[in-house]
Structure 1
Amino acid sequence: MTIELTPDALDVHGETPADLVLPDRVAGRLYTDPDLFELEMTRIFERSWVWVAHESEVPKPGSFKTTHVGRQPVIVARNRKGEINTLLNRCRHRGASVCEQPSGQANGFTCPYHAWSYSLDGQLRGIPYPEGYEGVLAKGDITLGKLRTESYGAMVFATADPDAEPLTDFLGDVKLWIDRFFGLGGGYPVKVLGRHRFRFRGNWKIQLENTTDGYHFPIVHRSWMASVDAETAEMMSFMTDPTCTTHDLGHGHSVMQMVPTHSDLSADDGTEPLQARFDDLVAELKGTGLDDAAVRKLVHAMHGTGFNLNLFPNVSMSAAFLRVLRPISVDETEIEHIALGPDGPPEVVDPVNRAKLRIHEHFQGPFGFGTPDDAEGWDRVQRGAQAAPTMPILVNRGLARETPSPEGWPTSHVTDETGMRTAYAQWKAMMGDD
């Protein structure tokens, strides 16, 4: 398929939002139009399953974290029965937030304005000076707003749409890749080790595109490639390897396999040598009494899985960490990077997790070799999009060589834009739903 590339190819007066996305390009206005952004918040972020937590962040009754679904502030809390709820962080009286801590342990939530108090599952349980509400309000009729909440593989999602399809249907074939991703625990469950947040001056979709964009890697991340040992650099040299692919998994989700031999860590046949940089870690783990197989499993998983999994619209499971995006405005986005590691006996997992955090910081930290370069690229896309915002953004790389995988997934090379095309197909479907 060949389409003439004219600057105004998507500048059609009276078009609907869905008209701004074609199979091989999207309008630059998708980054710059504030009216489109407002529609995205209602049609996408209030209707999709949005990732809100990893279960390790709310490990026991009373554990909570605060986050957002789109622009709506929410509290993710585990109640006395062990159930996880996603509650709107808004008092039912006069609208004040009832919790401002990022995470913690609580018996419930109390509004600081008039002290209305709520249980961990959102029930109103106390009102000061209740005589003023006799014949006006019954406590049992009032709860914090509650979003549908479902989990898969310790990943917790919420949606404001009561009629949304079940989470397992929305994830579809992504479930296989979530299962593989948590192999990064090396035989142990996975927990959150830490996080950092930053903002960039650009539209949220610019970052959404990035996670399964292998084309930029050796260009943007030259400094990182030069800073690592030869074995790691060789492992990430995937630009001309035909076995490295990107799959369209449906519903806007995609997976980019940079190191296919590490996609399923449980399939390790024991023949690949462990990297020499981990010799001290191997010795320390053997000193705890672990057998050779258990040590190998942990060390083989040090870099995580060999793929980036993009879940539309707001989270990616990227090799060994989570990247979460939150739209702030049409030209500002908050990013949260969440480091992950095994959860087990301290004498075993502590040295592993120290090493994992150093790897994470080397690329993802504010002084790392990866994040600052990525953020500069995203900023530049937003600045450039101000020029001729009707001019199309091309997502056509590899379109002519995209073929079905044995599983039926549209598939192309790791440097191709298959992941972007499926994300924009989902965007088109949701934005066209009136």
Structure 2
Amino acid sequence: MNAPLRFHPRVPGTSHADLVQPDGVDPSLYNDPAIFEAELDKIFYKTWIWVAHESELREPGDFKTATIGRQPVIVVRDRSGKINVLENRCRHRGATVCEKHKGNATGFTCPYHSWSYGLDGKLRALPYPDGYTDLIEKSDLPLKSLRVGSYAGMVFASFNQEVQPLEEFLGGARHWMDLFMKQGAGYPIKTMGEHKFKFDGNWKIQLENTTDGYHFPVVHKTFMQSVDEETSEMLSFMTDEASVTRALGNGHSVMVMVPEHVDFDQDDGSEQLQARFADTIAELSRDFPPEQVRRIVRSLHGAGFNLNLFPNVAMSMSFFRVLRPISVTETEIRHVALGMDGGPEVANRERMRIHEHFQGPFGFGSPDDAEAWERVQAGSYAGRDVPILVNRGLNRETVEPNGDRMSHSTDETGMREAYDMWKRMMSNDE
């Protein structure tokens, strides 16, 4: 007989730790403003947050702006080639010094009083300096720097200067990050464009979604009806025993949907290339040998898995999905399309069309997901003593020799891993 639910409803004075139990979480995690404020302080301002991909910062002066929690930052490559993440806040009166999302600059100047900063954040100049004689030293007032780390081209930052080393934080996810980057078919990965949207729901609802295979044939039924039979068969993982979800530690998880596309270096030659790519194959064959054409075409859909990196980015098949918590009931999502850096343009065009079909602004995936997320948010206000269940697959979850907890791709192993990390971080200094 299966174990009964162990969830207990929230009572006044309940600690954050008590809100997460092995089989369910309290609905207040989605709708309590006080919990949201605590999450910003204890999670988003304490751990590693993804802010950029190195392909977005190729040359000295290349920058992008980002937001960690509510705090605006600038990610910029300086003249020495170092990537800096700087608080986007003038040290004088607090105005942002950069409003463009991306670009190239020689420095950043506050539009309010013209204090100017270098790419390394140092205060270079300020107007009418006689008013500050014997009051300040420019060297004492740089744009504040965050701690920065990079792995597999993924750039992370943290306000916490004592945060654990990035590679330690990523842990078992590093193996999957390396596999994900193989979709370049011998070329590095680059970002090719992005779009953003907001949904009326809590950030954790989206976090749960990335390794939730259970919803795919239900929510994305119209998408499955819109694709060719080969693509539909490739994504029909509900009954495939090789399709699994793994908990990787520190809140990270991976859901394998297309096992034969997990490692593109492995190809036994049995997979038939899809007929829909016949024109692309013909064009590629003019410039590449058959084995390279095959590798490029096999990777057009991206990696065969979704990798969730706690708390804010998913490396999902052929795109990055980046979440930004705005309020307890509002979240911004960015979908960043990926291509082959230096690879054949015909293949990158095909990758973009595939991205547009599902995750693009007029695609099937994003609107269907967003509606489901908003319904979860609305429902969280009903039955406040009824848990949000995350117990699917507990009866068949196993522990691998490397410590990964594993179950089927339709199980909620990834969600339980994320909430384990949430519980650990939210319990610190409570």
Normalised-by-shorter TM-score class: over 0.9
1:258 & 1:282 partners in 2: Cα distance? 24
Cα displacement (A) at 1:433: 0.2
Cα displacement (A) at 1:70: 1.3
Query: Structure 1: which amino acid aligns with 2:212?
Result: D
Residues 287-326 of structure 1 mapped to structure 2, 5 A cutoff? 287=286, 289-326=287-324
Partner of 2:85: helix, strand, or coil? strand
Residues 238-257 of structure 1 mapped to structure 2, 5 A cutoff? 238-257=237-256
Query: Structure 2: which amino acid aligns with 1:392?
Result: P
Cα displacement (A) at 1:406: 3.9
| 1:361 aligned to which of 344, 356, 374 | 356
Partner of 1:400: helix, strand, or coil? coil
Q: Say whether 1:416 aligns with 2:411.
A: yes
Query: Structure 2: which amino acid aligns with 1:99?
Result: C
Cα displacement (A) at 1:4: 4.4
Partner of 2:30: helix, strand, or coil? helix
Higher mean C-alpha deviation, range 402-411 or range 23-32:
402-411
1:300 & 1:433 partners in 2: Cα distance? 45
Query: Structure 2: which amino acid aligns with 1:396?
Result: N
Would you say the 8 A contact 1:29–1:390 is kept in 2? no
Would you say the 8 A contact 2:176–2:307 is kept in 1? yes
User: 1:221–1:92: structure 2 CA closer, same or farther, 3 Å change rule?
Assistant: same
Query: Structure 1: which amino acid aligns with 2:3?
Result: T
Displaced runs of 4 or more, over 4 A: none
For normalisation by structure 2, the TM-score amounts to: 0.98
2:165 & 2:396 partners in 1: Cα distance? 33
Q: Say whether 1:351 aligns with 2:352.
A: no
Would you say the 8 A contact 1:190–1:340 is kept in 2? yes
1:19 & 1:4 partners in 2: Cα distance? 15
2:375 & 2:280 partners in 1: Cα distance? 40
Partner of 1:280: helix, strand, or coil? helix
Q: Quote the residue 1:260 is aligned against.
A: 259
Query: Alpha-carbon deviations, 1:226-260, whole Å to 9, x = none?
Result: 00000000011111111110000000000000111
Would you say the 8 A contact 2:5–2:23 is kept in 1? no
Cα displacement (A) at 1:293: 1.4
Query: Structure 2: which amino acid aligns with 1:170?
Result: F
2:6 & 2:80 partners in 1: Cα distance? 58
Partner of 1:35: helix, strand, or coil? helix
Q: Quote the residue 2:148 is aligned against.
A: 149
1:243 & 1:406 partners in 2: Cα distance? 17
Q: Say whether 1:50 aligns with 2:49.
A: yes
Query: Structure 1: which amino acid aligns with 2:37?
Result: E
Residues 165-176 of structure 1 mapped to structure 2, 5 A cutoff? 165-176=164-175
Query: Structure 1: which amino acid aligns with 2:278?
Result: D
Partner of 1:247: helix, strand, or coil? strand
Q: Quote the residue 1:385 is aligned against.
A: 380
Cα displacement (A) at 1:223: 0.2
Query: Alpha-carbon deviations, 1:40-88, whole Å to 9, x = none?
Result: 0000000110000000011110000001111110000000010001000
Would you say the 8 A contact 1:32–1:389 is kept in 2? no
Q: Say whether 1:26 aligns with 2:25.
A: yes
User: 1:286–1:19: structure 2 CA closer, same or farther, 3 Å change rule?
Assistant: same
Partner of 1:19: helix, strand, or coil? helix
2:363 & 2:402 partners in 1: Cα distance? 37
Q: Quote the residue 1:210 is aligned against.
A: 209
Q: Quote the residue 2:197 is aligned against.
A: 198
Partner of 2:352: helix, strand, or coil? helix
Q: Can you give the 5+ residue segments of structure 2 that lack an aligned partner in the other structure?
A: none
Query: Structure 2: which amino acid aligns with 1:65?
Result: K
Query: Alpha-carbon deviations, 1:392-425, whole Å to 9, x = none?
Result: 1000000011001243210000000000000000
Q: Say whether 1:334 aligns with 2:332.
A: yes
1:253 & 1:399 partners in 2: Cα distance? 18
Q: Quote the residue 1:2 is aligned against.
A: 3
Query: Alpha-carbon deviations, 1:355-402, whole Å to 9, x = none?
Result: 111000000112111110000000000001111334210000000110
1:42 & 1:391 partners in 2: Cα distance? 27
1:285 & 1:82 partners in 2: Cα distance? 35
1:240 & 1:296 partners in 2: Cα distance? 27
Query: Structure 2: which amino acid aligns with 1:252?
Result: G
2:397 & 2:116 partners in 1: Cα distance? 55
Partner of 2:344: helix, strand, or coil? helix
- What's the C-alpha RMSD, in Å, of the aligned pairs? 1.0
Query: Alpha-carbon deviations, 1:203-236, whole Å to 9, x = none?
Result: 0000000000000000000000000000000011
Query: Structure 2: which amino acid aligns with 1:114?
Result: H
Query: Structure 2: which amino acid aligns with 1:309?
Result: L
Query: Alpha-carbon deviations, 1:88-119, whole Å to 9, x = none?
Result: 00000000000000000000000000000000
2:248 & 2:239 partners in 1: Cα distance? 23
Query: Structure 1: which amino acid aligns with 2:166?
Result: L
Cα displacement (A) at 1:5: 6.9
Query: Structure 1: which amino acid aligns with 2:279?
Result: D
Count of residues in Structure 1 that have an aligned counterpart in Structure 2: 428
1:118 & 1:390 partners in 2: Cα distance? 52
Q: Quote the residue 1:76 is aligned against.
A: 75
1:400 & 1:420 partners in 2: Cα distance? 15
Partner of 2:376: helix, strand, or coil? helix
Query: Structure 2: which amino acid aligns with 1:17?
Result: H
1:207 & 1:137 partners in 2: Cα distance? 46
Partner of 2:191: helix, strand, or coil? strand
Cα displacement (A) at 1:10: 2.2
1:255 & 1:262 partners in 2: Cα distance? 14
Q: Quote the residue 1:430 is aligned against.
A: 425
1:248 & 1:60 partners in 2: Cα distance? 37
